[in-house]
Chains A and B, each alone.
Chain A
Amino acid sequence: MTTDLVRMENERLEMRLLLEAIYQKSGYDFRGYASAHIKRRLEHVRNRAGLATFCEVTHRLIWDAEFFDSVLSALSINVTEMFRDPGFYRAVREQVLPVLKTYPFIKVWHAGCAAGQEVYSMAIVLAEEGMKDRAQIYATDINPPVLEIARRGIYPLDAVRHYTANYQKAGGASSFSEYYTADYDSVAVKTALKQNVLFSPHNLVTDGIFGEMHVIFCRNVLIYFGDDLQNKVIKLFLDSLCNGGFLCLGTKESLRFSEHADAFEVVDAREKIYRKRPALPTPEAEAE
């Protein structure tokens, strides 16, 4: 039994060294991600490569660039879909957009946009609410190959039936087929949806703020982070939002455990929509 405990401790040590190697090699910093999650992914990599230990994985990824890339891609979860969680999009329509409509121009940030489905879903909603032309949309992700798919906006045809059902449940105002052109086995989103959308690489762990956003979507990214890292990223969002700006998290994510929870008010507890409170005046400012 002791041997299993010792083995576990040793494995954790080897795992920390592995993540350190990835960080020093590339700047990609997975050291603060949820460790049970990362460990499972790395075990998968190790077993698939037929290696016995994380140290062997470390050695190989240092020397073999192709292997390094395969490890990076194994560490990222890119699962996404159009109008994922339809109720969320309904809540955005009903509770967020009426406020944003009062601004002449809005800035939107999708952080961790994966292959872009979330971005195009929101673009559709904005278009249907007549707001698309006065929106600038930033869509970012850590993973360049996935961003490339997002930029192209081409998705497998067999996903479309599910997307269409989601669109309808999300309160879609017209027919989903108006937004894409279909091929034999794929669909391409219409060019109009791509207008005012800027895709670019951005790492939430190591890169800086995006200024004066009116709404930030960061859905199903934070669950893969440990709590220190979550706090850090929430602070990044806080600093990127204008006063009264909205933060939209994934259905199973929340600000409940964040040290910045007080800086936000809850707009929709179920759909995890929050709004930045105006900053409290500092004591010096009040004294003036």
Chain B
Amino acid sequence: MTSPPATDAVVIGASAGGLAAIGALLSALPAAYPLAVVVVQHIPADAADTLVRRFQRHCRLPVREAEDKDTVEPGIVFIAPADYHLMIEPDRRFSLSREERVNFSRPSIDILFETAAEAFCNRLVGVILTGASADGATGLAKIAAMGGTGVVQSPETAEVDVMPRAALAACAGARVLPLAAIGAFLARLIPESEAPCPPIS
């Protein structure tokens, strides 16, 4: 396999079946992980308080809910709060919004991915996992268009294959990997010092 691209952040989106899949991915990351990880998991608004605790059980990195104006820092797993869209601003800080649902979802994976693509350009990896909607497909295509890397869970290994298939239809160049291989791929990613797309302050 080609060596992994220099990366500053990983964005992950999942829907139905995502709790287990994301848990498995996070457990593959080493304690001193040099990248920021940002997760959108579709979940009913009232069940969301438990997400951080649930993912923390599987993860050696600190897991936090993303807050408005937080810096997208390496070595931390940020979870989108329930019922808010999560965006990354050009200066690589989070912002939140309660505007209308996108693809019937809030948070929407597309919104995170599209704004992350503009903030991180080619130093971004986007991962689409199991799910029953098409959310994330447009966002993943945007990541690829900005020079980043798209990764899609192979539909046969996904609990629900609608989301991976939609992502592949929109982003043909994405790497298709089974869940375990995605964990290994993410664990090997490293940032490099010279940045072709510096953050805009």
Contacts and interface: CB of A to CB of B under 8 A. Distances in A.
A12 B98 CA distance: 23
Interface string A209-224: 0000000000010111
Q: Interface extent on B, as a size class?
A: 20 to 34
B159 interface: no
B73 interface: no
Contacts of B93: 227
A5 B97 contact: no
Interface in A34-85: 34-37, 40-41, 77, 79
Contacts of A253: 68
A8 B118 contact: yes
For the complex of A and B, 9 pairs with smallest distance between CB atoms:
A36-B87, A34-B95, A1-B147, A36-B115, A257-B69, A223-B96, A36-B89, A223-B68, A77-B99
A256 interface: yes
Contact of B81 (A41, A224, A252): A252
Looking at chain A's contact residues, is the secondary structure mostly helix, strand, loop, or mixed? helix
A254 B147 contact: no
A121 interface: no
B167 interface: no
Contacts of B81: 252
A36 B88 contact: yes
A12 B119 CA distance: 12
Interface of A: 1, 4-5, 8, 12, 34-37, 40-41, 77, 79, 220, 222-224, 226-227, 230, 252-254, 256-257
A253 B147 CA distance: 33
Contact of B146 (A5, A220, A226): A5
Contact of A40 (B111, B147, B197): B111
A268 to B, nearest CB: 16
A8 B146 contact: yes
B92 to A, nearest CB: 11
7 contacts: A1-B122, A4-B145, A4-B146, A36-B87, A37-B97, A252-B84, A254-B68
Contact of B118 (A36, A220, A254): A36
A129 B183 CA distance: 55
Interface string B165-185: 000000000000000000000
Interface string B119-141: 10110000000000000000000
A230 B84 CA distance: 19
Contact of B90 (A1, A36, A227): A36
A227 B67 CA distance: 13
